Amino acid sequence: MESTRGYILPFRRHAERAVGNHPFTETPNNVRGVSHSSAIFIIGYCTTVRELFMSRVLVIDDQSDVRTMISIVLRINHFEIVEAASAEAGLKAFEAEKFDLAIVDIFLQGSNGCDLIATMRERAPKLPVVAISGITALDFLSKSPELGDVVCLQKPFRPSDLIRGIGAARDAVRPKAGAVVRAAL
């Protein structure tokens, strides 16, 4: 669905395009029984909740079953997913599009996931990253200053662990409240 100036675009799960939208009026635009809470209004501009809050995630893993599991979990949780089966494909996708988060396998076939994360961070320093691996010792990431805020998950992990890891990765790159106050002074 596209955002439209002056129209309510209700989020409809199985509809490609919302039909029956009515211009803003003083009377309710709820003729089809669609709740007004499905749209957000920002000073005369209307967009769907999904368009505002759906994060784009790049998933880079050489195991297709792992990529599929991660993609299913994230799609259920309203993330938009782009999958890559190699470091090269992941870097190409990263350069071509904007992402809000990356999930990267550390031991990719023929590549080093740490180097890939470092390259991505050079281009987007505040990119939240979740590193995943089947190897138990992921603590070497925290010893690298530029990768200290990367969240690590050991395979296999539960869907709830993945969602918590994403939240922790986002929190790790957010500026602290005190830092903003100090910068303002």
pLDDT in tens, the chain (185 residues): 444 444 334 443 433 344 444 444 444 444 444 444 444 444 444 444 444 456 999 999 999 999 999 999 999 999 999 999 999 999 999 999 999 999 999 989 888 888 999 999 999 999 999 999 887 656 656 566 667 789 989 999 999 999 999 999 999 988 766 554 444 44
Peptide bond preceding 156: is omega within 30 degrees of 0, i.e. cis?
A: yes
Asked if 61 contacts 132 with a C-beta cutoff of 8 angstroms, the reply is yes
So what's the pLDDT on residue 138? 60
So what's the pLDDT on residue 161? 96
| Closest residue by Cα to residue 57 from 148, 173, 170, 172 | 170
So what's the pLDDT on residue 48? 42
Q: Give the three-state DSSP class for 154.
A: strand
So what's the pLDDT on residue 37? 43
Name the strand (E) or helix (H) holding 53. helix 49-53
Q: How far is CA 134 from the centre of its chain?
A: 22
Q: Which residues of 83-118 are buried (b: 16+ CB within 10 A; e: fewer)?
A: bbbbbeebbebbeeeebbbbbbbbebeebebbebbe
Question: For 144, which DSSP code?
Answer: S
| Closest residue by Cα to residue 102 from 55, 155, 159, 50 | 55
Domain with CATH 3.40.50.2300 in the chain: 54-173
So what's the pLDDT on residue 174? 84
CATH fold for the domain made of 54-173: Rossmann fold (3.40.50)
Which one-letter amino acid corresponds to residue 169? A
